[in-house]
């Protein structure tokens, strides 16, 4: 059992040192996405435009969270979409059905995130202003 346990744990940093390194890796990932992905920059722009309006539109903390949560989800999904695209492109640029499917599925997740933003914002606007 001890041998199996030692194989399942990754060697490297632990505790606070690991947390600091992981945070640095996350910041590097966000920077790389910003520099290399126009769609991510557009999604950040949309989020930055809508965020201040969330304070105007929301009539409660619950509504405010319902408005900003899909904005954050969009950014998360776009980061994952970019990761899928980078991985597929790293494997090769020749056309392959499975590669295309992976990219299309990740893109569909971004589209559904945008639909979620429209639904949440539309429903709360309708509720508060009709």
| Cα–Cα distance for residue pair 78/65, rounded to 1 Å | 20
**Is 78 noted as a catalytic residue in this protein?**
yes
| Cα–Cα distance for residue pair 12/60, rounded to 1 Å | 45
Describe the crossing of helices 61-91 and 38-57 by its angle, rounded to 10 degrees. 180
Token match 């606070």: residue? 16
Q: Among the options 3, 5, 59, 78, which is catalytic?
A: 78
Which residues, including other chains, have CB under 8 Å from residue 91's CB and lie 6 or more apart?
Answer: 99
| Cα–Cα distance for residue pair 126/40, rounded to 1 Å | 28
The residues that are catalytic are 78
């Amino acid at each position: 059992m001890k041998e199996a346990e030692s194989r399942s744990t990754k060697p490297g940093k632990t505790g606070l040192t690991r947390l600091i390194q992981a945070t640095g890796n996350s910041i590097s990932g966000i920077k790389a996405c910003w520099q290399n992905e126009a769609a991510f920059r557009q999604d950040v722009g949309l989020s930055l435009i809508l965020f201040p309006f969330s304070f105007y539109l929301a009539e409660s903390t619950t509504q405010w969270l319902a408005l900003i949560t899909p904005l954050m989800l969009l950014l998360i999904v776009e980061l994952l979409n970019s990761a899928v695209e980078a991985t597929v492109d790293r494997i090769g640029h020749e056309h392959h059905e499975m590669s295309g499917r992976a990219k299309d599925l990740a893109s569909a997740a971004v589209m559904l995130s945008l639909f979620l933003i429209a639904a949440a914002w539309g429903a709360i606007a309708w509720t508060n202003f009709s």
